[in-house]
Structure 1
């Protein structure tokens, strides 16, 4: 199949000619290898035992093959990281090494940070802009400058279309499959996490059913900052012999290590004029399609409002998944401009903002998500509250909807259908 450029390609085009080594990190199936291979002349696949044996026997091998060289699944032979770091120390020419990894190295395995030699970039599943639905008309990067660009454009993606995108998944190798085959592949992806990926990455899964139940409960807490105790209670309702807190913490640590969990941290401004903000992360899986499969609600059920949630006081399961879809895309766009993404909620829950994108100059783009076409003053009150609190630190305010038109309200808030928002 022909390669379709990703948002991260622009960043790689800019950086790789000048940097000796770049590591692409992300869950299996997000497209790291395909993207890296657009630049590599040699591929070393360490998930193949024969190639892993060659590298283990002679680490210098990675410096002797034709460059640029892609070392795929490098974490399976962690010593290769330090060998690449030393190679860059010895010869700082750009464009030599790409490393792709679908896990952080196992606890207890010591490697040098790579700081100053190996630059790490995150890859996530396909954003909405990368799925080719329509051409985006509103740039997140431009909004983040504070220039208050004109907001316009029309989207023909309706609510049902967004449901289809949630269920289709952003994994490039899965989303193009027919519906039944796609569902089976997503189920298989989840099974491999429990049965293969976690054991290979250092977790002894003694009770696979308990792990699967916890992962399902975590999925049902998507787009909330539910306490981990509530997630565990939901996973073990009616069960006497519950996993220990240490066991569950181990689940979470390892699922984070293989990038399956993708929580959004709480945002706290560096020079903090805001008081009593929560520090709990918002829960997200790497792709909302996985959450949808775990909870087990299909297209018709989502459109009818079905789906149980954990620790949610308002909104529907579809609304939670739509917010996760928006978050996934925003994080891809933010990474392209070296911006960080968080969320904001006061401890009294009287103010909360779904996504805060903080640029390198510390100014922020505040984003609320609404599963609706219509917009009222109530929908933007938290955005306007934040602007009143920190003023020019807010570069712009955006309400992401499922509507048809993009426009700017009289109070300055940009209303943007998700399909029209791009990098």
Structure 2
């Protein structure tokens, strides 16, 4: 989805088949093997347009004469799974690409390393971050094609949404106008773990029964996920013995915060004038970058980023969990004035986890509050937590 996957793949390749073009697609449909012709490593771009290519690649890499890394498949949408006969397990590794982080665009210095925090390495930094550049970053997004643009230009995302709702969604058998309403509802309920019934009512989805309405709404969300517009963040399965029930329903964020801003018709100036909305979209920006940095951590799973919420009303915006059991809770606040509230939530979560004597990891590797505006990246010894402006954070 316009995040640089083709450019990145071609930097490692010797040849390419562009299956999204009519000529290569027409040749590959009757004979998928034609898409594999070329000097290796060979890129097959938009392979999902001819799903049989997947099984052809899987069969070819089974040959002892095919070395690892011979093929790089790129796609901006999930294929019809009914047309793919093999999962690719053990043969094809999947790598999810994101739009660029603030560290990649140069907006963040990256002087505070997330990997370093897990290893206990930290040096205080003078940051002096103000809100104006963050408002611009949220609306502009991390799109590689826009990195050299000096200011926010909404027409680029307008054209992206036109292609999505006028072409890609109808191909999945759903009305584009209805899907746009669902996407807009998700933008209005950003990071809220909204119920399907809430989204259906907000998007004005109606069907023959309540169940049918829910199923229709779920189909739209599934389609938007398959097109990589939205990404679910699941609740953290904390090692807690408590009467408080955990909330594990997924929160849904957009693949880039600019997508939500565009749907809501938000400009940088409107963000600066609306602190509540700015806070929601800043949370989306922080989750976006934390997800990128977390997936790059040694020992990270494919989905290391979660959130925590329970029936006692305790909520922590992000929890990073590694395969070896280490974890780190992170609260997200737009300004320093909300830091005391965030520190209190982090402390409550640490106490809840520590109260379980059977927990293997009773204490987190670290705790942190990520803020938008802030003077310093620093450690608060009394709260045992870091306060980190997002523009100081990196992988």
Same fold (TM over 0.5): yes
Matched, 1:220 2:188: yes
1:174 to 146, 151, 156: 146
Length-normalised TM-score, structure 1: 0.84
2:291 to 331, 334, 348: 331
CA contact (8 A) 2:128 2:375 kept: yes
CA change 1:237–1:300 in 2 (3 A) is: farther
1:97 to 63, 71, 76: 71
Residue of structure 2 equivalent to 1:15: none
Residue of structure 2 equivalent to 1:194: 165
Report the Cα distance in structure 2 between the residues aligned to 1:96 and 1:246, rounded to whole angstroms.
41
Length-normalised TM-score, structure 2: 0.89
CA change 1:376–1:68 in 2 (3 A) is: closer
SS in 2 for 1:279: coil
Note the residue ranges of structure 2 that are not aligned, 5 or more in a row: 355-361
Matched, 1:280 2:257: no
Report the Cα distance in structure 2 between the residues aligned to 1:254 and 1:211, rounded to whole angstroms.
9
Report the Cα distance in structure 2 between the residues aligned to 1:268 and 1:171, rounded to whole angstroms.
33
SS in 1 for 2:198: helix
- Cα deviation, residue 343, structure 1: 0.6
1:416 to 364, 377, 388: 388
SS in 2 for 1:405: strand
- Cα deviation, residue 54, structure 1: 2.2
CA contact (8 A) 2:240 2:352 kept: no
The Cα RMSD (Å) is 2.4
Report the Cα distance in structure 2 between the residues aligned to 1:378 and 1:177, rounded to whole angstroms.
37
CA contact (8 A) 2:3 2:144 kept: yes
- Cα deviation, residue 387, structure 1: 1.9
Q: How many residues align?
A: 379
Residue of structure 2 equivalent to 1:76: 49
Residue of structure 1 equivalent to 2:336: 373
- Cα deviation, residue 99, structure 1: 0.8
Report the Cα distance in structure 2 between the residues aligned to 1:378 and 1:134, rounded to whole angstroms.
25
- Cα deviation, residue 333, structure 1: 0.9
Counterpart mapping for 1:353-372 below 5 A: 353-372=316-335
Residue of structure 2 equivalent to 1:230: 198
Residue of structure 1 equivalent to 2:357: none
Residue of structure 1 equivalent to 2:117: 143
Matched, 1:248 2:217: yes
Report the Cα distance in structure 2 between the residues aligned to 1:301 and 1:235, rounded to whole angstroms.
23
CA change 1:44–1:302 in 2 (3 A) is: same
Residue of structure 1 equivalent to 2:235: 266
CA change 1:82–1:183 in 2 (3 A) is: same
Note the residue ranges of structure 1 that are not aligned, 5 or more in a row: 1-27, 307-315
Report the Cα distance in structure 2 between the residues aligned to 1:66 and 1:376, rounded to whole angstroms.
55
1:199-246: CA deviation from partner (whole Å, max 9, x where unpaired): 33x2332xx3332222111111112112121122222399xx999333
Matched, 1:153 2:113: no
Residue of structure 2 equivalent to 1:14: none
Matched, 1:342 2:312: no
1:113 to 87, 97, 107: 87
CA contact (8 A) 1:55 1:62 kept: yes
CA contact (8 A) 1:63 1:87 kept: no
1:381-401: CA deviation from partner (whole Å, max 9, x where unpaired): 121122223344511111001
Report the Cα distance in structure 1 between the residues aligned to 2:157 and 2:391, rounded to whole angstroms.
24
- Cα deviation, residue 86, structure 1: 1.4
CA contact (8 A) 2:19 2:46 kept: yes
- Cα deviation, residue 62, structure 1: 4.1
1:73-131: CA deviation from partner (whole Å, max 9, x where unpaired): 11111111111111221135222111111111125323311111000011111111111
SS in 1 for 2:43: strand
Matched, 1:67 2:40: yes
Report the Cα distance in structure 1 between the residues aligned to 2:85 and 2:255, rounded to whole angstroms.
26
